[in-house]
């Protein structure tokens, strides 16, 4: 058995285009002062460029069989370290604080099947300032979507109230081995505090956003009624008291981040 073949269980699709790899380095604005974390370096295609561009590079790789590719890079580059662990199980703040001692940027081609968990983990870490990630095109479309767009949903809001998201590079599926069934997009996520300080109860805000999009074909009232003990009529009256624009046909996709902030801030009043 060839242990170096891409493993489906780890969602391995190795990016092979040097043009795209170099463009990722350029467009992510890596500098010689940056401490970089790479997630899922694979065979080191992006790694070999990152290690030359950054002050330090730490790569988290779950697949130990890839050590034959990564360990030689580690030996040749004193600023590079490989950690063979599942990034989702790493205490990221503890690791960065102890081993790196500085804010970091994340640059990675991440597995499609754990895209959302990885992004939310990075958003939760105050020691990660920004992330440049190669992800599935359809997910990228959802992340940058605005209200009234067909791609707009709870994920759009949950990411964008914490960070600015922009598309950097479109990547065709043929740039990978093995070739996946979808195209990809490189996005950049830069954290901000534009909205967090306006939200009085972040837990309630998240609950309302998630509930509002439970079933996209349903109205806002039908999706939120489960969070109340009253009737739909009472809920509609409550929504109208928050903002007169609400009616029985309002749907979640018509609401902006600011609308959800106002909704959550006045929900319990």
- Can you give the pLDDT at residue 88? 96
Please, what is the average pLDDT of the chain?
A: 93
Domain interval for residue 250? 198-266
Domain presence at residue 252: yes
For the chain, how many helices (H) and strands (E)? Answer: 11, 9
| 257 and 156 within one domain | no
| 188 and 244 within one domain | no
- Can you give the pLDDT at residue 2? 43
- Can you give the pLDDT at residue 8? 55
Q: Around Cβ 208, how many Cβ atoms within 10 Å?
A: 24
Among 192, 217, 235, identify where a domain stops.
192
Among 192, 208, 242, identify where a domain stops.
192
Q: What is the pLDDT of residues 139-197, one digit of tens each?
A: 999 999 998 788 999 999 999 999 999 999 999 999 887 888 899 999 999 999 999 89
| 216 and 163 within one domain | no
Domain presence at residue 142: yes
| 150 and 68 within one domain | yes
How many domains is the chain built from?
A: 2
Among 149, 166, 192, identify where a domain stops.
192
| 158 and 184 within one domain | yes
| Residue 199 pLDDT level (bands cut at 50, 70, 90) | very high
Domain presence at residue 3: no
Here the CATH number for the domain that contains residue 23 is: 3.40.50.150
Q: What is the pTM of this model?
A: 0.89
CA neighbours within 13 Å on the CB side: how many for 65?
Answer: 9
User: Residue 56's beta-bridge partner residues?
Assistant: 35
| 99 and 34 within one domain | yes
Are 169 and 20 in contact, with CB atoms under 8 Å apart? Answer: yes
Domain presence at residue 49: yes
Query: Measuring CA to CA, which residue among 216, 220, 215, 219 is closest to residue 267?
Result: 220
Domain presence at residue 1: no
- Can you give the pLDDT at residue 7? 56
Does the structure show a pLDDT above 50 at 69? yes
- Can you give the pLDDT at residue 120? 95
Domain presence at residue 221: yes
Q: Are strands 56-60 and 80-83 parallel, antiparallel or unpaired?
A: parallel
């Amino acid at each position: 058995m060839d242990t170096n073949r891409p493993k489906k269980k780890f969602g391995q699709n190795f990016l092979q285009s040097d043009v795209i790899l170099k463009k990722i380095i350029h467009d992510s604005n890596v500098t010689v002062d940056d401490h970089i974390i790479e997630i899922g370096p694979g065979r080191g295609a992006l790694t070999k460029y990152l290690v030359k561009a950054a002050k330090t590079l730490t790569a988290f790789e779950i697949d130990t069989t890839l050590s034959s590719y990564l360990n030689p890079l580690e030996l040749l580059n004193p600023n590079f370290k490989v950690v063979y662990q599942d990034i989702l199980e790493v205490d990221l703040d503890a690791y960065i604080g102890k081993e790196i001692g500085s804010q970091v940027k994340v640059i990675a081609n991440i597995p499609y099947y754990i895209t959302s968990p990885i992004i939310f983990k990075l958003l939760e870490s105050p020691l990660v300032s920004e992330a440049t990630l190669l992800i599935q095109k359809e997910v990228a479309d959802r992340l940058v979507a605005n209200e009234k767009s067909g791609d707009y949903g709870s994920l759009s809001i949950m990411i964008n109230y914490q960070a600015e998201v922009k598309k950097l590079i479109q990547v065709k599926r043929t740039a990978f081995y093995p070739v996946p069934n979808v195209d990809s997009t490189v996005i950049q996520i830069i954290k901000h505090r534009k909205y967090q300080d306006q939200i009085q109860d972040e837990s309630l805000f998240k609950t309302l956003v998630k509930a509002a999009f439970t079933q996209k074909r349903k109205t806002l009232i039908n999706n939120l009624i489960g969070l109340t003990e009253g009737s739909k009529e009472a809920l509609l009256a409550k929504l109208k008291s928050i903002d007169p624009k609400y009616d029985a046909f309002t749907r979640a996709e018509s609401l902006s981040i600011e609308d959800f902030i106002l909704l959550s801030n006045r929900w319990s009043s």
